[in-house]
Amino acid sequence: MKYGFAKRVNHMQSSAVRDILKVVNRGDVISFAGGLPDENLFPVEEVREAFNKALDTDAKALQYGETEGVPALRSKLTERMADKGIHRMPENVLITSGSQQAIDLFARVMFNPGDIVLTENPTYLAAIQVFQSYEVNIVPVDADNDGMTKEDLETKIQQLKPKCIYIVPTYSNPDGKVWSLERRKELLRLAEKYHTIVFEDDPYGDIKFDEAETVAPLASLDENKYVVYTSTFSKTVVPAMRTGWITGPYQIIRMMAQAKQATDLHTNSLTQHALVKLLEDFDLDAHIRTLQRTYKERMHVMKDIFDRADDIDIRYHEPKGGMFFWVSMPEYVNTKALLDDAVDNGVAFVPGAPFYVNQPAQNTMRLNFTNAEPELIEEGMKRLVEVMNSAPVQK
């Protein structure tokens, strides 16, 4: 039988990364493809303790809960955000099933087909997926290493009247970029001038490699009028808990909560109660510092090998945080074709093309450095450099 689907499924596409992950999950392939934190660093015993405590307290922790989230967790999150200069009330916080759901719910309550969203290019591909499924027109803005350039941004805001500007300004996925403070302020000034919402997606802000570096989230520079800010516990605690949050103007958060009610009633509340206990008992900030040190070391292992590989023609920036290296090869290289050779040689990466809004650069790739231990990174990079050395010319 042939089933009649909604028109919107024509705008839905499967994630290139998740499809690749299925291929490269062979035991003999060293994978730099996923966006995975290292499971060996997961605070398993502390998570166990937290669940046990949540289950000790009250069987009500297992009952249906509020759509907005467990109140104690929303309070804890306002405290943690205040440490970053983001001062919000708990009622301005909505707990979501990962920050992915925050993007989806935001899109659901904000976008009509044909609305314009401005983004970086490349940008987070699962955000592109969401926006496309709501039939939004995604328009990239010119940028350099400090963020979107003022001229192109203002021109496009004036001409296109976007509903929203979506950015990953801190240690971004895929290209590890950090916006300068000046560019952040400039973006906010334009958001205020043209009454445009800024969606600040910040899953990686905690994974910084210079302990002294303080990056002001855009939300910390805004009086809760123009910036919607989302983050997650997936990179700092564990991904399997699927718990993120979003904060922003009350009207938007309230509307998203209403949409969430019909979507899934509420996020797993046993997990939310466990996270409250975890935040009470566990020094998450010390754990984050361990992650920072460990991931920085691995980033350097990867970088050193590239730095020494004089015989391959590549460009890359040293990531200041996050989980990814973004590499450009000569224009005649097609990294999608190269991936087949790489997998044959026992190493995997994600070709960069799916991260582009349009006119993808076929010669780019994203490499994750957080999931593998240094020795494995060395071996994988040896294999990768071999493959890069014999890169076939683009067909």
Given the complex with a second copy, which of 110 and 215 has the nearer CB atom?
110
- Per-residue CA distances from 126 to 34, 104, 151, 176, 365 (Å): 13, 10, 27, 16, 16
Size of the site for a second copy (CB under 8 A): 80
CB of 240 to a second copy, least distance (A): 4
Query: How far is Cα 7 from Cα 12, in angstroms, rounded to an integer?
Result: 10
**12 counts as binding a second copy under rule CB under 8 A:** yes
Instruction: Please tell me whether residue 61 binds a second copy under the rule CB under 8 A.
Output: yes
Strands (E) in the chain, as ranges, are 30-31, 93-96, 116-119, 137-140, 143-144, 147-148, 164-167, 197-201, 227-232, 244-247, 315-316, 324-328, 347-348, 350-351, 364-368
Beta strands at 364-368 and 30-31: parallel, antiparallel or unpaired: unpaired
The C-alpha atoms of residue 82 and residue 86 are separated, in whole angstroms, by 5
Q: Could you tell me if 169 and 208 are in contact, meaning their C-beta atoms sit under 8 angstroms apart?
A: no
Which position among 77, 252, 291, 391 is part of the footprint of a second copy (CB under 8 A)? 252
Supply the DSSP string of 326-368, one letter for each residue: EEE--TTB-HHHHHHHHHHTTEE-EESGGG-SSS--TTEEEEE
Q: Which strands form 364-368's sheet, in the order they lie side by side?
A: 315-316, 324-328, 364-368, 350-351
Residue 51 makes contact with a second copy by CB under 8 A: yes
Query: Would you give the binding string for a second copy spanning residues 192-231, x where CB under 8 A is met?
Result: ---x-x---------------------------xx-----
- Least CB distance to a second copy at residue 394 (A): 29
Q: How far is the CB of 357 from a second copy (least distance, A)?
A: 16
Gyration radius (Cα) of the chain, Å: 21
Based on the shown chain and the rule CB under 8 A, indicate whether residue 24 belongs to the binding site for a second copy: no
Should residue 82 be labelled a site residue for a second copy when binding is judged by CB under 8 A? no
Task: Name residues contacting a second copy, limited to 107-166 (CB under 8 A).
Answer: 108-112, 115, 126, 129-130, 133-134, 163
Q: Which is nearer to a second copy, 13 or 149 (CB)?
A: 13
Q: Please say which residue, 270 or 305, places its beta carbon nearer to a second copy.
A: 270
100 touching a second copy, by CB under 8 A: yes
Q: Does 62 bind a second copy (CB under 8 A)?
A: yes
Instruction: Report the site for a second copy in 177-196 (rule: CB under 8 A).
Output: 195
Q: Shortest approach of a second copy to residue 391 CB, angstroms?
A: 30
Site for a second copy in 266-305 (CB under 8 A): 266-271, 273
